[in-house]
């Protein structure tokens, strides 16, 4: 590489980093306590330099700001978020080394951990991914978290979802599997019986109907 070209790339990268830092500060100023701003800025920059998604950390900071969380607790919350993102990426890499790690998958794994799924269960679900093209990690993890939250044994829930994937169900249809199991519970079935019933339905679990409200507005306050 010619020295001039290398210098140009370094300057471009530093310029992009500076612009990114400015946009982070612009989004956070007046929204979080001034005392917390430098530390949060540093954590977000650190996440970006590690190739982790920064949006979840910004959202956590904005959330803490609007909820009136004190500066030190707010910084701790963002720091905890950074740790969760690191853990999530490590799980993704262990579960499927050949799979490209996307920011969306990292955020989904982080959310699944926050919802109470164990790292081992997340790793199992991601390691048994269906054949390419790779599916986003979010739906299967949320479906598992839904089932666990409703009292189904984690391993049995994972078995059901992996069976559903083998039967060809993908994406949000896996959420329908969890919804069908919850429906069986509401009808009075024991958890084990509910899982058996849903397994017998596969792949034809009923689809959760979309909401049909009378009036719908556009997304308020687009992200700047």
Partner 1 sequence: MTSIDRRLQEALDGERDPATLPAELREAYARLVGAAQLLSHTPPASVAERVMAEVRRLPAPASAALAFEDGVARRVARWFAQPRAVTLRLRPAWTLAIAAALAAVVFLPLAESVAPGAEEGVAQFVGHFPGARSVEVVGSFNDWRRGALPLSDEHHDGIWHGAVVLPAGQHEYMFVVDGERWVADPLAGRYVDDGFGRENALLIVRPAVGP
Q: Residue 100 and residue 105: Cα distance in Å, rounded?
A: 9
Q: Which residues from 132-171 bind partner 1, rule CB under 8 A? A: 138-139, 142, 145-146, 149, 170-171
| The binder of partner 1 chosen from 36, 75, 108, 160 (CB under 8 A) | 108
Rank residues 2 and 218 by Cβ distance to partner 1 and give the closer one: 218
Structure tokens belonging to residue 201: 């339905």
Beta carbons of 177 and 143 less than 8 angstroms apart: yes
Does the footprint of partner 1 cover residue 105 (CB under 8 A)?
no
Of 3, 132, 200, 218, the one binding partner 1 (CB under 8 A) is 218
- The answer to the question of residue 80 lying near partner 1 (CB under 8 A) is yes
**117: which residues sit within 8 A by CB, 6+ positions away?**
141, 144, 145, 148, 154
- Judged by CB, which is closer to partner 1: 158, or 179? 179
Least distance in angstroms from the C-beta of 7 to partner 1: 37
Size of the site for partner 1 (CB under 8 A): 47
Nearer to partner 1, 135 or 159 (CB): 135
Backbone angles phi, psi at 174, to 5 degrees: -70, -30
Question: Quick one: tokens of 7?
Answer: 């210098």
CB of 53 to partner 1, least distance (A): 13
Subset of residues 12 to 51 that bind partner 1, contact rule: CB under 8 A:
27
Q: What DSSP state is assigned to residue 155?
A: H
Evaluated on CA atoms 97, 100, 104, 107, the torsion sign reads positive
Q: How far apart (Å, rounded) are the C-alpha atoms in residues 141 and 193?
A: 22
How far apart CA 75 and CA 107 sit, in angstroms, is 19
Q: Interface with partner 1 includes 1 (CB under 8 A)?
A: no
| Whole-number Å distance between alpha carbons of 47 and 86 | 9
Contacts with partner 1, 111-130, as mask; x by CB under 8 A: x--xx---------------
Residues making contact with partner 1 (CB under 8 A): 27, 59-60, 62-67, 69, 73-74, 77, 80-81, 104, 107-108, 111, 114-115, 138-139, 142, 145-146, 149, 170-173, 175, 208, 210-221, 223-224
């Amino acid at each position: 590489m010619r020295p001039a070209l290398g210098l140009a790339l370094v300057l471009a990268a530093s310029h992009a980093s500076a612009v990114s830092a400015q946009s982070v500060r612009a989004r956070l100023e007046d929204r979080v306590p001034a005392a917390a701003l430098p530390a949060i800025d540093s954590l977000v920059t650190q996440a970006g330099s590690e190739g982790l998604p920064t949006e979840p950390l910004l959202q956590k900071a904005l959330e803490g700001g609007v909820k009136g969380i004190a500066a030190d607790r707010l910084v701790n919350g963002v720091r905890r978020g950074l740790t969760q993102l690191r853990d999530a990426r490590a799980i993704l890499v262990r579960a499927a080394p050949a799979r490209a790690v996307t920011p969306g998958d990292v955020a989904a794994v982080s959310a699944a951990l926050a919802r109470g799924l164990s790292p081992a269960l997340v790793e199992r679900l991601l390691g048994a991914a269906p054949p390419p093209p790779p599916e986003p990690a979010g739906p299967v993890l949320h479906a598992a978290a839904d089932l666990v939250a409703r009292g189904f044994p984690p391993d049995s829930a994972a078995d059901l979802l992996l069976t559903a994937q083998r039967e060809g169900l993908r994406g949000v249809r896996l959420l329908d599997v969890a919804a069908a199991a919850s429906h069986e519970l509401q009808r009075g079935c024991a958890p084990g019986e509910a899982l058996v019933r849903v397994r017998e339905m596969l792949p034809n679990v009923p689809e959760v109907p979309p909401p049909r409200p009378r009036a719908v507005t556009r997304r308020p306050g687009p992200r700047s």
